Chain A
Amino acid sequence: MRGENDRLSQTFAALASSTRRAILTRLAEGEATVNELAEPFNMSLPAISKHIRVLERAGLITQGQKAQYRPCSLDVTPLQEVSQWTEQYRHIWETSFDRMDAYIEQLNSQEADKTEAKEQKHE
């Protein structure tokens, strides 16, 4: 569980950059070399490489070993975990709101009892 959360943190940290998200979006269309990835950005190759390393560490992309091209491709596993993360939170919220519903009913019936008691007093 702990390991899972740590990995999720790493995925979110990796996704918290518009440049890195743009890189991933580009890779969703197919693999690309570092040069190709750098093209749309006004950025040096070392700067782009640094972003790629962050994505690689988060397990979001893999870099091929093919000689000088070493194309990058998207690894979807952490994104699946992002979906699972939201499902965990959805469960917690749904549970909480069920409890909120029950609590409101409790408050409403207390209120009704009070009103009833008052009415009886007046009679």
Chain B
Amino acid sequence: MSESTKAANAVVIERTFNAPVDLIWRLWTDAEEYPKWYGPNRFTVTVVEMDVRVGGRRLLYMMPPDKNMKIWTTGEYKEIMPNARLVYTDCPADEAGNVQSLAAMGMGDDTSPMITEVTVLLEAVDGRTKMVLTHAGIPADSPGASGWEQALDKMVAYAERSLVPDA
């Protein structure tokens, strides 16, 4: 893992695929194609709803290999620029698609959900597709977001400094 991608709050992954950009777009936005590649190893993914329009909803569940539980997630499409840019939120949910808040999980009275945000950038490069994925722990458009990443990075740098094991 390179230092540049080691942001405190986000996962950033860059990959190049041996496929034209419209195919990659389809793999991200087609309800039948998406489960063929997305998910943790050996989990099965079932898409219940994938309404790829701004404000449209996603609802899906994942099952571990022994299929003894369903892990539901939901989200909303925020930005859609075919073959170029896709932004959606992703958060834990129940099977009706209700976002799970801390309160709903029996964690006090805070009703803020744990919302994460996924941004996919695609670019055609000589018949191949360069993709940059960013999965952020806190949506970029949350109130006062400007500068918060730097703040958190600073805090994590501090955390790492202060956790240097005693020699």
Contact = CB atoms under 8 A, between A and B. Distances in A.
A14 to B, nearest CB: 9
Given A12-B114, A13-B114, A79-B156, A18 B138 contact: no
Contacts of B9: 15, 82, 86
Nearest to B155: A28
A76 B133 contact: no
A15 B1 CA distance: 25
B: contact size bracket: 35 or more
Nearest to B40: A92
A6 B112 contact: no
B143 interface: yes
A85 B13 contact: no
A113 B155 CA distance: 54
A25 B156 contact: no
A90 B11 contact: yes
Contacts, number: 127
Contacts of A86: 7-11, 135, 137
Interface string A31-45: 000000000000000
Interface in B19-41: 19, 23, 27, 36-41
Interface residues of A, number: 44
A104 B129 CA distance: 12
B96 interface: no
Interface of A: 5-6, 8-10, 12-13, 15-19, 21-22, 24-25, 28, 54, 57, 74, 76, 79-80, 82-83, 85-86, 89-97, 99-101, 103-105, 107-108
